[in-house]
Amino acid sequence: MKTINLVLLFFILLSCNGKNNETQKGQTIITLELKEGNYSFFEPIENTIQFSSQYEKYPKYYQDLMSNSHFDLKDSLIISTLKTNYFSYIFELFKKDYLSKEEFMRIGIDSLKYQNTPKDNKLLVGIQFKKDRQILYVDQNKNGNFKDEKPIIFKSDFRNHDSDSVDLKNIPKIDYSYWAEEEGVITRFKRKAIIYPSLNDYRFSETNDEISKKSRLLLKFKDYWEGNVVLDELEYVFIVQGTSRGNFSLYIKPSTQNFDDKNPIINQNFKYEIKDSIKLGNKVFVLEDISNDLNNLKIKEIKGKKFIYGNKIGQKLKNLTLKKEKLADILKKKKYTLIDFWGTWCKPCREQIPTLKEFFNKNKGQINLISIAYDKNLNDVIQYTTKNEMDWPQYFYNRSNGKGIIKDLRITYYPTLLLVDNEMNILYKESGTSNFKELKRIINLKK
């Protein structure tokens, strides 16, 4: 068995950082319009928000909500709360003596900042279980009275399913109004959404309390912002999802390309952040800023750049140093290099190693392969790679380090495969286990 020498990886990778559109001094303002509809590729963190009961945490507050609900105790009502502005909500609880001074101080809220903010900082839903039905009463007029709301009825076992495995089409839409504060400016939003039970959403805190479990709901947006721009006769679509300027996701793609509903991770190649650079048509732009109401995206042309560095297909990697050897020097050895991001803690990563190993052994005359272990313990990586005869360059990246290649390439899923050619162009990026068919197609390998 061959001993694999691992080296600590040091990185010098820098981040790359339509209609009625206006252009001035190299800047273009792209108008984004709020549209009803649904993209199935949005991640739950982008287009859903969680409700939960305050029964355990703030029992006096919860009892007062119950007293104002216009339901009798015999009706077995449960009240679930969505905090549309968390800090304002907590400040209100403190002012009404639902929250102790000690706990308020521990949270560390600037009371002056939230002294005069709007009071509509929550949305309440009443929940009942009757026979084989779960009934929701959404307090859309925000008066705390659920008797004047039209019920939304589900089968009681609906909440046991994952949200992506049940039919959400027939759930009636609601008008969801909320506000967000950015740098002292209050912006109000009016959105379309649905609300439905979801017992097993991974973001809910663990609890043994039955009332807390029965209160679990999700609000899912049924709208998003969209705009387009034509540059050098090519049309690009801009899509924004989120709740505010401080919490949104931006996707940009050519109108001729489609999002991948079967493998949503592929869509990360269309995902950008403010201050990223992007090639649109024959020009390179920086995504400068977005307005508080998410209606206007400002981009600015960068002069004199032939290509851009980044983390997506079609962009170039910045050079990085693997101890003493430059990545560019490694890439020159063969036309293609496959970079494998993995970890000993990651079950799908471990399961993919035999397939990766077989692929490399069959094709190592045509490709380089390097693996980067995102791990806590160097010895664990050494033992694993030695035991499994991973006979190609192995590198270690400490999980406690928040900077470098993991951040700059935005590697958030494991395993992730990155195929790069000898000129540093990113040809392929996929997260999750792979069948290597697309890799074979790209590098023209025969089965």
Q: 356: domain CATH number? A: 3.40.30.10
Domain containing residue 358: 7-14+313-442
pTM of the model: 0.74
- Domain boundary, last residue among 221, 237, 263: 221
Do 279 and 427 reside in the same domain of the chain?
no
Q: How far apart are CA 249 and CA 233, in angstroms?
A: 26
Do 31 and 117 reside in the same domain of the chain?
no
2 located within any domain: no
What strands lie across the sheet with 247-254, from one edge to the other?
33-36, 223-231, 234-244, 247-254, 271-272
Do 118 and 267 reside in the same domain of the chain?
no
- Domain boundary, last residue among 263, 281, 302: 302
Q: How far apart are CA 292 and CA 374, in angstroms?
A: 36
- Domain boundary, last residue among 221, 240, 267: 221
307 located within any domain: no
Tell me the pLDDT of the chain averaged across its residues.
Answer: 85
Helix or strand or coil: residue 331?
helix
Can you read off the two tokens belonging to residue 425? Answer: 């162009």
Number of domains in the chain: 3
Task: Give the torsion sign (CA, 307, 311, 317, 318).
Answer: positive
The pLDDT score that the predictor gives to residue 435 is 74
202 located within any domain: yes
108 located within any domain: yes
The pLDDT score that the predictor gives to residue 431 is 78
DSSP-derived pairing of the beta strands 394-398 and 367-375: parallel
Element (H, E) at 267: none
The pLDDT score that the predictor gives to residue 206 is 83
Task: Give yes or no for a contact between 368 and 334, defined as CB atoms under 8 angstroms apart.
Answer: yes
Can you read off the two tokens belonging to residue 83? Answer: 């905090």
1 located within any domain: no
Do 267 and 346 reside in the same domain of the chain?
no
Do 213 and 230 reside in the same domain of the chain?
no
Do 216 and 246 reside in the same domain of the chain?
no
Instruction: Walk along the chain (447 residues) and give the pLDDT tens digit of each residue.
Output: 444 444 444 333 333 334 445 545 578 899 999 999 878 888 888 999 999 999 989 999 999 999 999 998 777 899 999 999 999 999 999 999 999 999 999 988 888 888 889 989 999 999 999 989 999 999 999 999 999 999 999 999 999 887 656 678 889 999 999 999 998 899 999 999 999 999 988 888 888 889 999 999 999 999 999 999 998 899 999 999 999 999 999 999 999 888 877 766 678 788 888 988 888 888 889 999 999 999 999 999 988 655 666 677 767 776 655 556 677 787 788 889 999 999 999 999 999 999 999 989 888 888 889 898 989 889 999 999 999 999 898 888 887 776 666 777 778 788 989 898 888 888 888 877 777 877 887 776 444
447 located within any domain: no
